C-alpha cells in the first residue's frame, strides 16, 4: 500500500489507535537508553525485587532516575506527539498506547481518557505502601550527592518513580484498556517501536487479527513488517510532516 492510499484510509476512519515507542521521542532529544552512551551504559536498570530488598539497589534506582529527571526537565514534544494529539481533536483517536515513560504525549495535550502509558511514567513519584503521589521535583531536588533512598512522609514506605521496573507486574487496568482499544481499532498505527518488548508488542498482531489496517512507521525494520498493510522506514517527524492526513 502506498502513502496516498494509506492516507485515504486514515481519513475515512474514526477508530484509530496509535502505539508508540522510543523512536517518537528520540527526535525530541530523549535518548534510547539501550543505545551506546545511553543512561543504561552508566547505570544498570534495577529489578523490582532488588529494589524492595536492598537499600543499595534503591539508591542505584534513584541515581538512574535523577539522571533521566534532569533530561526530562528540558525535552519538549515534537511534531509526532502533536500530530497524534490532533487526531484526538478531530475525534478520530480511539486511544493512544505508549511504551514511553517520558510523559511527552501528555505534555502535547493528549487527554488521560485517550492515553495508556503501559510502562508508567517518570513524571510522577509514588509510595509503594500507601499510594501517595509526589511531584518529581519535590523528591529529586532533595537528593544530594550522597543520599539515603527517599521514603514517604505519610507512612514511611519506599518511594519509587511511577514507571514499571523490570520484574514488576504490569498494571491490570492499563493493559485492559489497551486490549479493548486494540480489538476495536479500524486502523492501528505503530510509531517508533522496535516491537521487541512483550507483552506490548503483541497488540499490533491482535489488531491485525481483528481486522484492523496495520501500519508501521519506524526508522528500522521490525519483526511485524511482513504482516503490516503499510510500512515506512525513516524519520518519524519526516513522515508526519509529509502525510497530509495527519494534519488539521
Q: What count of other Cβ atoms lies within 10 Å of the Cβ of residue 60? A: 18
Q: Are 216 and 190 in contact (CB under 8 A)?
A: yes
Four-residue CA torsion sign, 90, 92, 97, 98? negative
Q: Grid coordinates standing for 74?
A: 528540558
- 119 tagged catalytic: yes
Distance from C-alpha of 20 to C-alpha of 66, rounded to nearest angstrom: 24
From the candidates 81, 82, 119, 233, which is the catalytic residue? 119
Distance from C-alpha of 144 to C-alpha of 72, rounded to nearest angstrom: 19
Q: Grid coordinates standing for 142?
A: 532533595
Q: Which residues are catalytic?
A: 119
Amino acid at each position: 500500500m502506498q502513502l496516498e492510499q494509506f492516507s485515504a484510509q486514515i481519513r475515512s476512519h474514526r477508530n484509530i489507535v496509535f502505539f508508540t515507542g522510543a523512536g517518537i521521542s528520540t527526535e525530541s532529544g530523549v535518548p534510547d537508553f539501550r543505545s551506546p552512551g545511553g543512561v543504561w551504559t552508566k547505570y544498570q536498570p534495577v529489578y523490582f525485587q532488588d529494589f524492595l530488598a536492598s537499600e543499595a539497589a534503591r539508591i542505584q534506582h534513584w541515581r538512574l532516575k535523577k539522571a533521566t529527571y534532569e533530561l526530562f526537565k528540558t525535552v519538549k514534544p515534537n511534531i509526532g506527539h502533536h500530530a497524534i494529539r490532533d487526531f484526538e481533536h478531530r475525534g478520530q483517536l480511539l486511544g493512544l498506547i505508549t511504551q514511553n515513560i517520558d510523559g511527552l504525549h501528555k505534555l502535547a495535550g493528549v487527554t488521560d481518557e485517550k492515553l495508556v502509558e503501559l510502562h508508567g511514567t517518570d513524571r510522577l513519584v509514588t509510595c509503594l505502601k500507601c499510594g501517595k503521589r509526589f511531584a518529581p521535583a519535590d523528591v529529586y531536588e532533595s537528593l544530594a550527592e550522597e543520599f539515603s533512598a527517599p521514603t514517604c512522609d505519610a507512612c514511611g514506605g519506599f518511594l519509587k518513580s511511577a514507571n514499571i521496573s523490570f520484574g514488576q507486574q504490569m498494571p491490570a487496568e492499563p493493559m485492559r484498556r489497551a486490549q479493548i482499544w486494540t480489538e476495536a481499532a479500524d486502523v492501528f498505527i505503530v510509531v517508533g517501536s522496535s516491537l521487541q518488548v512483550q507483552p506490548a508488542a503483541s497488540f499490533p498482531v491482535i489488531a491485525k487479527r481483528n481486522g484492523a489496517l496495520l501500519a508501521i512507521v519506524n526508522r528500522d525494520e521490525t519483526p511485524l513488517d511482513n504482516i503490516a498493510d503499510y510500512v515506512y522506514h525513516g524519520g518519524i517527524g519526516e513522515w508526519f510532516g509529509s502525510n497530509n492526513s495527519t494534519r488539521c
